[in-house]
Amino acid sequence: MDNFWHVITLLFSDAGAELRYIIGVTLTMSLFSTTISTLIGMPLGILIGSREFRLKKPLMRVTHALMSLPPVVAGLIVYLILSRNGPLGAFHLIYSLQAMVIAQVLLISPIVCGLSTSIASIRAPQMLETTRGFGMKRSKEIWLLLYESRSQLISVLMLAFGRSIAEVGAVQIVGGNIAGKTRVMTTAIMLETNKGNFQYAITLGVVLLLLALVVNLASAGLQEK
């Protein structure tokens, strides 16, 4: 409990400037990764789940395999691509916030896609039967499907956000944990643990948990609407 109040006072004191900056970078990164992963994964997943086509099964297998892509592997792939002598080296994106978001999108969009596929394939059959009866347009069907599954889809969103904020392997590799630039909560916790500075490490851990709690409360509020 002492630790908890220590964290709260530190957050709003002068000494907490670095901590606030790290939180800012973490939230920026997680919001961008979650949004982009959702924009890519969710429509794709809904489409795959609600339609029948020849390559559906293989496509779902690949998505499911990518869902268990280890973060360090995603990090390594993005590192090799963005590295100075890699194919996209000319953009100088390595060790930047953008690089971290790219690695996380590679990691998280398959998860969003795979889960959305499952949700859509459960909901779609009965719903389509009804809407076809009404003679509804295909584009309208998708919107209705999204609306009807909103509560589950919000859970997927939260999972994506949780995965992003808790991830350490990929962001360490492509972000480089640069102080005041690409250092996020998880890489900072790793660093302080490696330094043997356990007090500060656990402080950061408590803040991370608080952030997760706030985000979950917000999502619970959304789901109840």
Partner 1 sequence: MKKILLILLACVLVFSFAACTAGQTSDPGVDDQTPTPENPVIRLSTTTSVNDSGLLAYLQPSFEAATGYRLEISSAGTGAAIQAAKDGNADCLLVHSKSQEEAYIADGFGEVRVPFMYNFFVVIGPKDDAANVKEADTAADAFSAIADSGSTFISRGDASGTHTKELGLWVAAGQLESADATADGTLPVIDAPWYLSIGQGMGATLNMAQEKLAYTLSDKATFLANAANLADLDILLERADDMMNTYSMIAVTPERYDDTNYEGAQAFVTWMTSAEAKQLIADFGVAEYGQQLFFNLEDE
Q: Which residues in this chain contact partner 1 in the complex, by CB under 8 A?
A: 15, 83-84, 94-95, 172, 176-181, 183, 187-188, 191, 193-200
Contact present, 144 and 131 (Cβ < 8 Å): yes
Least distance between partner 1 and beta carbon 176 (Å):
5
Q: Which tokens go with 27?
A: 């939230």
Residues 63, 60: Cα–Cα separation, whole Å: 5
Long-range Cβ contact pairs of 6-10 (< 8 A, separation 24 or more): 6/203, 7/203, 7/206, 7/207, 7/210, 10/203
Rounded to a whole number of angstroms, the minimum distance from the CB of residue 99 to partner 1 is 11
Provide, rounded to whole angstroms, the least separation between the CB of residue 159 and partner 1: 27
Cβ 61 to partner 1 shortest distance, Å: 14
Q: Which is nearer to partner 1, 140 or 181 (CB)?
A: 181
Quote the Cα angle for 191-186-18, to 5°.
70
Following CA atoms 150, 153, 155, 161 in sequence, which dihedral angle do they give, to the nearest 10 degrees? Answer: -130
C-beta of 143 vs 198, nearer to partner 1 = 198
Q: How far is the CB of 217 from partner 1 (least distance, A)?
A: 30
Smaller CB separation from partner 1, 54 or 84:
84
Nearer to partner 1, 180 or 221 (CB): 180
- In the bound state with partner 1, the residue whose beta carbon lies nearer, of 178 and 213, is 178
The CA distance from 138 to 32, in Å, is 30
